[in-house]
Amino acid sequence: MVQKSYYSILNLDKNCSQADIVRAYRVLAIKYHPDKNSDGKELFQELKEAYEVLADEEKRYLYDNGLDYDNTESKVKITPEDIENFCRVYKGSVEEEHDIIAYYKKQDGNILKIFDHIPLLEFCEEHFERLIKMIEKLFHEKLLQNTREYENDD
């Protein structure tokens, strides 16, 4: 039997931290939750399964070493209220700012690629303008530097 690549499902590498696992799961769970994305049910189930194994240190150890682990118990239940609460708390938060800084640097300022990684950003004019304002603010605060890629996207 071929073992699923839980790290790939969460877009992580094997050396990731527990915090990376939680963050990746949150971002992807919101993006693919069946209440928000009718085509995401199967992927959402895979995300949930990957999270349940990787977030549990004992199961993760067993998984990483190709050993048997019991994944029949479902620990994480995400409700529509959880999604609404996350949306309310995340938008404009320090966590969102840190995500923008991290992905701006990782994507060398490529705005289109940043959109793929920041939760709750949809590719529309309103969100584009909001992201640009946030990045410009981070330039002013000297937390980010302008890049050639960013200039070309403008």
Domain boundaries, the chain: 6-81, 91-153
**Least trusted range by pLDDT, from 12-16, 19-23, 33-37:** 33-37
CATH H-level, domain 6-81: superfamily:
DnaJ domain (1.10.287.110)
pLDDT tens for each residue of 44-75: 889 999 999 999 888 888 888 777 666 544 44
The dihedrals phi and psi of 14, each to the nearest 5 degrees, come to -65, -25
pLDDT tens for each residue of 90-110: 888 998 999 999 999 999 999
Q: Which own/partner contact pairs does 107-110 have at CB distance under 8 Å and 24+ positions apart?
A: 107/149, 108/147, 108/148, 108/149, 108/150, 109/146, 109/147, 109/148, 109/149, 109/150, 109/151, 109/153, 110/149, 110/150, 110/153
Tell me, rounded to whole angstroms, the distance of Cα 31 from its chain centroid.
9
Measure the CA–CA gap between 27 and 25, rounded to whole angstroms.
6
Average pLDDT score over the chain: 85
**With bands split at pLDDT 50, 70 and 90, how would you rate the model's confidence at 2?**
very low
pLDDT at 77: 63
**With bands split at pLDDT 50, 70 and 90, how would you rate the model's confidence at 125?**
very high
